[in-house]
C-alpha cells in the first residue's frame, strides 16, 4: 500500500508534455513551422485500460513516451507550471489541455493539477479524462477546469467492444448527454475515425452528440507500432475528408442528420446540398483543420 502511494505521488510530481508544447514552454528546443497555442500535458503513468489503438494502454508494447505519434517527455511539475505562467503572460499560450491516463489516484491528480494551474494564472483549462459520474465531472469543474472531455473514441457500442474492452460505451454517452445539459458549453468528447466503424455509424453518433450540445474533437486513427492496431490501416483520406467536412457542417447547423444519405455499405453519398452549395460552404478550409481539444 505504501509503495503504491509513493508511486502515485511520484506520478503526480512528473508531468509529461507534448514535445511541441515543451518547446513553447522553453523546456526544450525544437524547430517548428507553427508553434501550438495550447499546452498539452499528460498526467499519470501507463494507463490501466486496454484500448487497442493507444500507446499508453496497459497491454501496449509501444514506446511509453508516445501518445498517438507524438513524443511526451517528462518534466517536473513545477518547471511545467512556471513555463505555462510565463508563456501565458507573454501571449504565447492561450489554453492548457490535460490528458489523463487511468492510473492510481488519477482523478485526484487531475484535480490537484487544475487547482495549481488555476491558482497560478487565469489560463483556460481543458481536461480529457475517464469519468463515470456527474459528481466526478463537477469536482473537476469546481477545481477550475473550463471544459471536461470524456472520450468515447469509438462511434458505436459495436466498435467499442472490439477496440476499447471494458468501456461502458452507452453509459458513457448518456453521462455525456446529461453533463452537457447540466453544464452547457463545458462538456466534450473525442471520436476516432478508422477503428472499424462505417461512415454512417460515425456521423450518426456525431449528430447525436451535437444535438445534445457537446463539443466533439474528431481524429483519424494513427497506427502505432506496439499497439494491437499497429497494422490496421488508417482511414481512407477521401473518406476522412468527407467526415471532416460533414462534421463541420453539422457543428455549424448547415446540414441536418436527416438530410444525409448512405449506400448499403454505410458510405455517405449525399449531404442534401448541391455541389455548388458544398463548395461555397467549405471554401475557407476551416472544416479540414484538426478538431482537437474539444
Whole-angstrom distance, CA of residue 55 vs CA of residue 20: 18
Contact (Cβ atoms closer than 8 angstroms) between residue 171 and residue 177? no
* Residue-wise DSSP of 61-76: -S-TTEETTEE--EEE
pLDDT at 293 over 70: no
Average pLDDT score, the chain: 91
- pLDDT above 50 for 1: no
For 23-57, the DSSP string reads HHTTSS----SS--SEEEEEESSS-SS--TT-TTS
Question: pLDDT digit string (tens) for 66-111?
Answer: 677 778 889 999 999 999 999 999 999 999 999 999 999 999 999 9
138-187 tens-digit pLDDT = 999 999 999 999 999 999 999 999 999 988 999 999 999 999 999 999 99
Q: Which residue has the cell 510565463?
A: 86
Q: How many CB atoms lie within 10 A of CB 274?
A: 9
Closest CA to 22 of 41, 5, 7: 41
For residue range 239-252, what is the model confidence (pLDDT) as tens digits? 999 999 999 999 99
Given a contact cutoff of 8 angstroms between Cβ atoms, the answer to whether 10 and 20 are in contact is no
User: What's the confidence (pLDDT) of residue 66?
Assistant: 65
Residue 8 predicted with pLDDT over 70: no
Place of cell 466503424: 197
Block residue for cell numbers 508531468 = 15
CA 44 remoteness from chain centre: 16
What pLDDT sits at residue 7?
47
Domains of the chain: which residue ranges?
Answer: 1-149
The reported pTM is 0.91
* Residue 36 CB contacts under 8 Å (≥ 6 apart), including other chains: 18, 20, 21, 24
- The Cα–Cα gap between 192 and 289 comes to 15
Taking the CA atoms of the chain, what radius of gyration do you get in angstroms? Answer: 19
Residue 283 DSSP class: T
Compute the CA torsion angle 114, 98, 132, 116 (nearest 10 deg).
Answer: -10
Report pLDDT digits (tens) over 203-238.
999 999 999 999 999 999 999 999 999 999 999 999
pLDDT value for 24? 92
CATH 2.60.40 assigned to domain 1-149? The reply is no
Residue tagged 500500500 (cell numbers): 1
Q: Which of 238, 253, 172, 242 is nearest to 207 (CA)?
A: 253
pLDDT on residue 4: 47
Amino acid at each position: 500500500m505504501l509503495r503504491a502511494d509513493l508511486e502515485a505521488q511520484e506520478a503526480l510530481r512528473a508531468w509529461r508534455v507534448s514535445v511541441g508544447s515543451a518547446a513553447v514552454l522553453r523546456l526544450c528546443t525544437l524547430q517548428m513551422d507553427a508553434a501550438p497555442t495550447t499546452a498539452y500535458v499528460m498526467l499519470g503513468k501507463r494507463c490501466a485500460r486496454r484500448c487497442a489503438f493507444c500507446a499508453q494502454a496497459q497491454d501496449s508494447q509501444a514506446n511509453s513516451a508516445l501518445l498517438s505519434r507524438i513524443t511526451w517527455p517528462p518534466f517536473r511539475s513545477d518547471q511545467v507550471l512556471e513555463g505555462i505562467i510565463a508563456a501565458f503572460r507573454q501571449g504565447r499560450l492561450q489554453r492548457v489541455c490535460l490528458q489523463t491516463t487511468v492510473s492510481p489516484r488519477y482523478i485526484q491528480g487531475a484535480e490537484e493539477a487544475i487547482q495549481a494551474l488555476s491558482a497560478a494564472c487565469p489560463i483556460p483549462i481543458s481536461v480529457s479524462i475517464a469519468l463515470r459520474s456527474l459528481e466526478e465531472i463537477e469536482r473537476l469543474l469546481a477545481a477550475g477546469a473550463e471544459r471536461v472531455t470524456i472520450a468515447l473514441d469509438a462511434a458505436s457500442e459495436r466498435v467499442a467492444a472490439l477496440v476499447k474492452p471494458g468501456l461502458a460505451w452507452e453509459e458513457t454517452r448518456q453521462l455525456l448527454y446529461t453533463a452537457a445539459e447540466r453544464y452547457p458549453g463545458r462538456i466534450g468528447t473525442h471520436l476516432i475515425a478508422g477503428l472499424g466503424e462505417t461512415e454512417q455509424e460515425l456521423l450518426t453518433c456525431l449528430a447525436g452528440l451535437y444535438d445534445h450540445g457537446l463539443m466533439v474533437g474528431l481524429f483519424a486513427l494513427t497506427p502505432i507500432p506496439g499497439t494491437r492496431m499497429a497494422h490496421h490501416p488508417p482511414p481512407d483520406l477521401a473518406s476522412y475528408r468527407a467526415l471532416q467536412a460533414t462534421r463541420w457542417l453539422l457543428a455549424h447547423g448547415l446540414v441536418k442528420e436527416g438530410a444525409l444519405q448512405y449506400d448499403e455499405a454505410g458510405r455517405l453519398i449525399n449531404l442534401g446540398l448541391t455541389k455548388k452549395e458544398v463548395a461555397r460552404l467549405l471554401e475557407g478550409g476551416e472544416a479540414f483543420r484538426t478538431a482537437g481539444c474539444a
